[in-house]
Amino acid sequence: MDQRRPLIAGNWKMNGLVADGVALAEALVERSRRHPGLPPDAAAEVPPDVPAALPCDVLVCPPFTLVDRVLQTVSGTKIAVGGQDCHAEASGARTGDVSAEMLKDLGCRYVIVGHSERRADHGEDDRTVRLKAEAALRAGLIAIVCVGETEAERDAGQTEAVVARQIAGSVPAAATPETVVVAYEPVWAIGTGKTATPAEAQAVHARIRAELNALLGSDAAARMRILYGGSVKPGNAAELLGQPDIDGALVGGASLKAEDFWGIVGAAK
């Protein structure tokens, strides 16, 4: 764990008009300027031109319409911005799509690929997800590659087999700990208020690390971050993040409230 700096990533999904997104980003900036460990209303602040050291890497992934405004709002802070998806190609006749190059050009550092909502709503399979992750790497973005089993697969006892297959099919061969982050998000835990117990999540994370070991070698597997996602909240974050193979969180609902998201950031120590 020591060799892996935690990453707390907010996935805003399809939420927020401009005023909401800017207000949320401003509230996060305000918190990021305070010394970590102090309560949000503490008086002692670092000067605005000196970004406070954060306990972990912090990322927000707004909808495409808000990316540029959020980048402007967090400029000069340690908060990174990413996209929620990208196309596998750099440009062309792809109506409605956005490329990794376009996100990089704006100033994004990350992009989420293969979120279960993309896999389910847009028919993305492992190969599609891998091509998107490869596009992210080509563009110089860090790809957050999502995997996770459905409730039916879980009930059938297939969790580890499904996740292993998704890792083998979705993670680029060229992945390194600097260019790829894996996110394990059990589909049944997303937006439902249900979470895997810390022990259940740890067992799957360990299985994912073993699969990364087979795919990329032991050094890369040992250093690659594996995030947990699915109803992460300030109240359950510390216990989940305390597991040896859980290196951060991908947060949906709770990332839409600055206080909750920052509570999760504070739990990543």
Q: Return the active site residues.
A: 115, 185
Q: Which stretch binds ligand PGA (CB under 6 A): 77-85, 118-126, 213-221, 230-238?
A: 230-238
Under rule CB under 6 A, residue 230 binds ligand PGA: yes
Q: Which stretch binds ligand PGA (CB under 6 A): 26-34, 219-227, 245-253, 258-266?
A: 245-253
The one among 185, 245, 247, 260 contacting ligand PGA by CB under 6 A: 185
Under rule CB under 6 A, residue 250 binds ligand PGA: yes
Could you give the string, one character per residue 190-229, with x where binding to ligand PGA holds by CB under 6 A and - elsewhere? xx-------------------------------------x
For residue 226, give both structure tokens: 């594996």
Per CB under 6 A, contacts with ligand PGA among 104-143 are none
The one among 16, 186, 252, 266 contacting ligand PGA by CB under 6 A: 252
**Contact assessment for residue 86 and residue 13, using Cβ atoms and an 8 Å cutoff:** no
Alpha-carbon separation of residue 29 from 12, 32, 160, 255 (angstroms): 16, 5, 38, 14
When the beta carbons of 16 and 230 are compared against ligand PGA, the nearer one is 230
Cα 175 to Cα 113: distance, rounded to the nearest angstrom: 14
**Contact assessment for residue 86 and residue 61, using Cβ atoms and an 8 Å cutoff:** no
Cα 194 to Cα 10: distance, rounded to the nearest angstrom: 18
If you ran DSSP here, which 8-state letter would residue 187 be given?
A: G
Cα 103 to Cα 142: distance, rounded to the nearest angstrom: 11
**Residues in touch with ligand PGA (CB under 6 A):** 11, 185, 190-191, 229-232, 250-254
